[in-house]
Structure 1
Amino acid sequence: MTAEAPSVAQHGALVPVSVHFDDLDALGLLHNARYPLIIERAWTAYWEERGLRYEGDWAAAGDACNAVKELRLTYELPVNRTGAYAVHLWLERLGNTGLTYGFRFCSADGSVTYAHGSRVLVRLDPATLRPAPWSDLFRSLGRQLLRPER
């Protein structure tokens, strides 16, 4: 069973990722805990290509000073080999201090979905760790990833 594949051409970004031998479990399947890690790496690559990077200093991190509020992940098909794959990324919602992004872990061409889900992030003020608004630059870049309303 595969999930319905959203059209990559219509929204979001398809980011290449790799599955390595040490990502597999004892049965030769991509370990369930590796999916969120690989998806996070895809997001990091996406934002870094657009000039947004985290350098290890929360005060200077800007929009990278955020925390995960919720993660939902559904596994559809097992990944049972190393190699090239992709993560399809998009924003479902871009609020003042939070956002919800959607993702699919998929084949390199985006045609086969192995897992899909969403994650809610909250932008934080580095001094108080309370919700803080996204920057204008981040909001502008984020709007490009918004999924069209269904």
Structure 2
Amino acid sequence: MELRQLRYFVAVAEHGGFGRAAAGLGIVQSAVSTQVRRLERQLGLVLFDRGPRQTVLTAQGEALLPQARSVLEAADRTRTLAAELVGGSAGLLRLGPVRGPGERTNLLLHRLADDTRAFRVALRHVPAAERLRLLRDGELDAAFVRGEPAPP
């Protein structure tokens, strides 16, 4: 199964026909038909009832459509993240958090990362002395510590 096949399947479902899907995709109808038939063969499903005037999703096609959309959205997110990583706009923030009241901070950091998608957060839950060692060794970008840390 290829992403292209899923993309064509979704396009036919959304446009209501192979010809309209092909026009929307900017390709010839035969290419769309061929790829959708290959997808059907590979999956062992009939995705569309093909009539002379209309193309309608079968029950199997209806069941597969949400998952196909989800796969395509995940592929788009992966492409976006890869482009951000290549361009240097996405990064990884490595933190050593504290347990207990600091859990709110952890939740906030994860929420911020999810909302902005500008960076990812990796949390290392280790004892305070280990957090400081990891920070000194460059394995953490920041560490949260309660009280005054003991000198190195």
Q: TM-score under structure 1 normalisation?
A: 0.23
Bigger fraction of residues in helix: 2
Larger of the two Rg values belongs to structure? 2
Bigger fraction of residues in strand: 1
